[in-house]
Amino acid sequence: MQRFAELLDSLAFQPARNGKLRLMTAYMRSAPDPDRGYALAALTGALDLPNAKPALLREFGVQRLGETLFVLSYDYVGDLAETLALIWEPADQAGVGHNRPPPSLAEVVETLRQASKRETPQLLERWLDGLDATGRWALLKLLTGALRVGVSARLAKQAIADLGQRDIAAVEEVWHTLEPPYQALFDWLEDRAPRPDPGAAPVFRPVMLATALEDADIGGLDPAAYRAEWKWDGIRVQLVAGPGHRRIFSRAADEATSAFPDIVEAMDFSAVLDGELLVAHRADDGALQVAPFNDLQQRLNRKQTTAKLMQDHPAHVRLYDALLIDGEDLRALPFDERRARLEAWHAARPRPRLDLSPMVPFTSWDELARLRTGTREASIEGLMLKRGDSPYVAGRPKGPWFKWKRAALTVECVLMYAQRGHGKRSSFYSDYTFGCWRRSDGGTPELVPVGKAYFGFTDEELMKLDKWVRDHTTSRFGPVREVAPGLVLEIAFDSVHRSSRHKSGVAMRFPRVHRIRWDKPAAEADALATLERMIAG
């Protein structure tokens, strides 16, 4: 427990992705079994432990300190679990670890799983006595919900893949067949046993991804070798169904099944299919109309969904590819062959909420380029190009699949606030909030923030931006500086939507700094109305 606690503690203070990976692999390399397996479960959100209620923690605190001192302490710290971790001292006054060794993570997890609700407080008290402040904090975080150390399930899996020097795709493919504490996984990663066999289990298969295509590179490709289809602006998903199981995974192998019962209902098949999750409405004439990405967002990140939400934002999956159909693995077949199988499968029995992403016929790149520029449909991000002979391989191989995004939209904004970055960028003002002009109620022009960007510039430009921010600061709030309106940033973005959460009423997707207009007076930057005219849909 103590070592796991130290890991969580350092993760919480480590902002960089690579730093977090390094910390996790170092822990996984040296921590004993089955502790590290339970640690992995905790980090990936796969650990299901009974919750300790805030009232219990409060009661413990008041018992130890009395009402006055506990309230003063809690007021100062602001976090109940942390307050209790800091004020706790062993009841017997003998000091940490003198009477009993601190519990291991495995002991905590395995005991709690079998304990009754009534036993939990006593167990907790005993363990708190054996741990130091960091250990107590970690234990209480485990029992009060989210860890909040800035680690996604995928990042933890990446750390495990690094440990065994395997590709993360190989880990993801077996992940859903395994249970904490993942002994079989570690045995494989450390070469003591063969890879666990996913077999016919309803598991995630690693997804095939495309590389970005630059306009300049397309001339070198043979148009006859490639097939084209639209790149839909939704969430890439994998549908896995068979007798007794129906599951929906994101391309990062996170399970999204429970948020989309309307899709699950349609999954009465035995296959593994690749497609795009969208929100789509059926028009009066029967045509399907794909809603903006914003509508899909309403349905994401929910454990449970409501009937109203499903009615207002009906989900739909547009299929791209088939990995398995009726037990037959199609991944080694060429794309053309898989597509033919998918079409035949779909034609044999069309299902509600599922359709095929149509192919876009073309004979030359020029023709395709015109098609790409011609469409302004909000739900289309651009085109996908796939070699007709490409097998379905995990990861992002360069060559067989390309994404050819529509040219980005741009708008000229004025820099308003700058914030210091993290890690290497901690001495630089590198996160920028920018705004567009509008008329205030009094009729004078005012800037309203429309977005935030922290990439799109070179290191050299960052130096200059940082200096500009320091030289034009008008006020400071902690790590944030407000600057005089004087620098125009040309911002590129994929699309812009209405948003009630922002003061400006709009929200951009993927805003980044496209160019820094050192030359341009701030007054000549764009008006909010210009941005509003670009709203998709």
Partner 1 sequence: MSSSPSPAEPRSWLTTTSKGLYCVPGGFFIDPAWPVEKAVVTHGHGDHARPGHGAVLATPETVEIIKVRLGADTIGDLQAVRYDETTRIGEVDVRLVPAGHILGSAQIVLDWRGARIVVSGDFKRRADATCPPFEPVPCDVFVTEATFALPVFRHPPDMQEIARLLGSLRTFPDRCHLVGVYALGKCQRVIRLLRAAGYDQRIWLHGGLMAMCDVYKRAGIDLGDIAAVSEAGPVRRNDLFQHQTFKGAIVLCPPSALGDRWTRRFPEPLPVAASGWMRVRARARQRGVELPLVISDHADWDELVQTVRDIRPGMVWVTHGREDALVHQAQAMGIAAEALHLAGREEEGS
**Near partner 1 by CB under 8 A: residue from 69, 193, 200, 529:** 69
For residue 131, state whether it binds partner 1 (rule: CB under 8 A). Answer: no
Tell me how far, at minimum, the Cβ of 120 lies from partner 1, in Å: 24
Tell me how far, at minimum, the Cβ of 95 lies from partner 1, in Å: 11
Angle, vertex CA 2, rays to CA 171 and CA 27, nearest 5: 30
DSSP 317: E
Structure tokens at 111: 């005991």
Q: How many residues of this chain bind partner 1 (CB under 8 A)?
A: 35
**Near partner 1 by CB under 8 A: residue from 12, 62, 360, 480:** 12
Query: Regarding beta strands 328-329 and 315-325, do their DSSP bridges make them parallel or antiparallel, or are they unpaired?
Result: antiparallel
Q: Which is nearer to partner 1, 52 or 85 (CB)?
A: 85
For residue 461, state whether it binds partner 1 (rule: CB under 8 A). Answer: no
**Near partner 1 by CB under 8 A: residue from 17, 251, 406, 420:** 420
For residue 115, state whether it binds partner 1 (rule: CB under 8 A). Answer: no
**Near partner 1 by CB under 8 A: residue from 45, 49, 79, 121:** 79
- Exposed e or buried b for every residue in 301-335, given b needs 16+ CB within 10 A? eeeebeeebeeebbbbbbbbbbbbbeeeebbebbb
Residues 47-66 binding partner 1 (CB under 8 A) are 65-66
φ/ψ bin of 269: left (φ > 0), alpha (ψ from -120 to 50), beta (otherwise): beta
For residue 478, state whether it binds partner 1 (rule: CB under 8 A). Answer: yes
For residue 87, state whether it binds partner 1 (rule: CB under 8 A). Answer: yes
Other beta carbons less than 10 A from residue 398's beta carbon: 8
Report yes or no: 473 and 466 within 8 Å, Cβ to Cβ: no
Q: Which is nearer to partner 1, 361 or 479 (CB)?
A: 479
Instruction: Please give the torsion angle defined by the CA atoms of residues 489, 234, 321 and 398, in that order, rounded to the nearest 10 degrees.
Output: 20
**Near partner 1 by CB under 8 A: residue from 2, 14, 294, 433:** 14
Q: Which is nearer to partner 1, 101 or 521 (CB)?
A: 101
For residue 77, state whether it binds partner 1 (rule: CB under 8 A). Answer: yes
Residues 425-444 binding partner 1 (CB under 8 A) are 426-427
Nearest-angstrom CA–CA distance, 308 and 317: 19
Tell me how far, at minimum, the Cβ of 217 lies from partner 1, in Å: 32
**Near partner 1 by CB under 8 A: residue from 46, 49, 62, 86:** 86
Tell me how far, at minimum, the Cβ of 126 lies from partner 1, in Å: 20
Tell me how far, at minimum, the Cβ of 137 lies from partner 1, in Å: 8
Nearest-angstrom CA–CA distance, 278 and 315: 6
Q: Which is nearer to partner 1, 14 or 144 (CB)?
A: 14
Nearest-angstrom CA–CA distance, 61 and 43: 27
Residues 6 or more apart whose Cβ sits within 8 Å of residue 501: 507
Instruction: Choose among 384, 437, 434: nearest CA to 406.
Output: 384
Peptide bond into 314 cis (omega under 30): no
Question: What counts of helices (H) and strands (E) characterise the chain?
Answer: 19, 20
Tell me how far, at minimum, the Cβ of 201 lies from partner 1, in Å: 37
For residue 424, state whether it binds partner 1 (rule: CB under 8 A). Answer: yes
Residues 17-36 binding partner 1 (CB under 8 A) are 19, 22-23, 26
Nearest-angstrom CA–CA distance, 528 and 506: 9
Residues that bind partner 1 (CB under 8 A): 10, 12-15, 19, 22-23, 26, 65-66, 68-69, 72-73, 76-79, 82-83, 86-87, 89, 132-133, 420, 422-424, 426-427, 459, 478-479
